[in-house]
Amino acid sequence: MKALRADLVFSYWIFIWFLLYEFKITSYSPKFPLIVGIIDNIIMFILMILYGTSSRTIFYFIVVNICIKVLPFYYLRNETIKLKDVYFTIYYLVTYK
């Protein structure tokens, strides 16, 4: 049985945060962690290509990340990132680890 990777679980938590934000359950915008996640995924994508990861795995990686990061970021594109959002992201990340 494969262990769940922390970055994968954290990505889904950010997506849940996005849903909570959209349903007005929280006032902290997930735009900042989405940007960080997209940057991380670009680096991971490059590494996947360099290390010869299968095309099928890369395809699934792209599809999943478009759904859980790029589309939510696009939806929030006109929002400004507030300092409270950055602080909450740091608090969330420290608490998560």
- Domain total for the chain? 1
Residue 1 maps to a domain: no
Using one digit for the tens of pLDDT, what is the confidence trace for 58-87? Answer: 999 999 999 999 999 999 999 999 999 999
Say which residues have a Cβ less than 8 Å from residue 61's Cβ, sequence separation at least 6. Answer: 41, 44, 45, 48
pTM of the model: 0.87
- Residue 83, both tokens: 């300092």
Give residue 39's domain range.
6-96
Residue 35 to residue 53: CA distance in whole angstroms: 24
